[in-house]
Amino acid sequence: MNSFAYYVPVRFGNVGKAYYFGTNDETLKPGDHVVVDTVSGFEMGFVSETPKSAETYRSDLELKPVVRLATQEDEEDYAFCLEQAKVALAITEREAKKLGLDMNFINASYTLHGDKITINYTSEGRVDFRELLRILAPQLKCRIELHQMTPRDKAKMVGGMGICGLPLCCSTFLNHFDGISISRAKNQMLTLNIPKLSGACGRLLCCLLYEDDLYTEARADFPRLGETLHAQEGDYKVTSFNILSRSIKLEGNEEVKFISLDDYRRMASTRGKPLSFADLLETDTTPVVTPSPRNEETNGRGNRPENNRNENPKRDNRPDKNRNRGPKKSPSRATK
């Protein structure tokens, strides 16, 4: 049973998921460094939001406590652990290379008191690292946890820029990853170019999920691919359509036509004699936009061509008076 009046989200490192911890201190504010009690031991993180009432906590997980605000000694211990983690990571990489293990190490982190170290790595498959642990134990002299990360988790931790020019979604606001398959791209009628559909992690883009439900809903308004439309000109099959422009591509025996979804419905719903594509033009109710005449009072000339001539009184506007007469002859070369 949780016995805290408030709970706060705490993050560890620059990126990563926020974890909730219980507290009775309502003065905590975002950015405060705090020491918390985790399943691995005491660790230091920073508060990411203001405290919230414990009455609004809906998770079944028991809240671990916020022990205290970080002191100067805690800050020094944390900085020392960061430096030692770099040394431990170098040792681990060296020993794994000796054993020929296919492991790509990402980072390492100690608990605040240095009694446990967690080393993150990626690998294409499962790795038997029991021998590695036996070698590292006498050198690091603490509990060791080797944690295999997925490529998406690695991208979340390392960060970077996406093809959209913005920071990666996983390193900014995504806290969990849903399954993404190539069917998402097919549903949105994207070109199946895997390199262009892949993110920094090498997996399919997480943003394929964002509009997938909207595309599924919009596709319900369109005919199935391969459906036949009967027209006076002949039979046409639906070969593709554009959801954004709401247009449909039809292919017949000798020609290709593009019509709107509304026109397709009108032709498909006709009973008896089928419509022709010319009938669509005759029944088109789209207003024709024509340019309005120039306001005659704006410049005093009106829109008549003869009123748009140069009105300089010192110049004769007659065409025969404005011909190019060539350069004026010099008096010294005039013909006698």
| Domains assigned to the chain | 6-69 (no CATH), 76-149 (3.30.300), 156-215 (no CATH), 228-282 (no CATH)
**pLDDT tens, 133-149?**
999 999 999 999 999 98
Q: Which residues on adjacent β-strands are paired with residue 108?
A: 119
Assess whether pLDDT exceeds 60 at residue 324.
no
Assign 14 a pLDDT band (cuts: 50, 70, 90).
low
The least confident of 79-88, 127-136, 165-174, 215-224 is 165-174
- 3-state SS record for the chain: CCCCCEEEEEECCCCCCCEEEEECCCCCCCCCEEEEEECCEEEEEEECCCCEEHHHCCCCCCCEEEEEECCHHHHHHHHHHHHHHHHHHHHHHHHHHHHCCCCEEEEEEECCCCCEEEEEEECCCCCCCHHHHHHHHHHHCCEEEEEECCHHHHHHHHCCECCCCCECHHHCCCCCCCCCCHHHHHHCCCCCCHHHHECCCCCECHHHHCCHHHHHHHHCCCCCCCCEEEECCEEEEEEEEECCCCEEEEECCCCEEEEEHHHHHHHHCCCCCCCCHHHHHHCCCCCCCCCCCCCHHHHCCCCCHHHHCCCCCCCCCCHHHCCCCCCCCCHHHCCC
- Mean confidence (pLDDT) of the chain: 81
**pLDDT tens, 34-56?**
999 988 889 999 998 999 998 99
Predicted confidence at residue 303, as pLDDT, reads 44
CA distances for 252 relative to 258, 265, 266, 267, angstroms: 11, 18, 18, 15
**Residue 99 and residue 330: Cα distance in Å, rounded?**
98
Query: Going by C-beta distance under 8 Å and a sequence separation of 6 or more, which residues neighbour residue 124?
Result: 102
Predicted confidence at residue 99, as pLDDT, reads 93
Assess whether pLDDT exceeds 70 at residue 199.
yes
Predicted confidence at residue 202, as pLDDT, reads 87
**Residue 318 and residue 164: Cα distance in Å, rounded?**
60
Assess whether pLDDT exceeds 60 at residue 290.
no
Higher pLDDT, 331 or 244: 244
**Residue 297 and residue 308: Cα distance in Å, rounded?**
14
Predicted confidence at residue 158, as pLDDT, reads 81
Mean pLDDT of 248-265: 89
Over pLDDT 90: what percentage of the chain?
Answer: 37
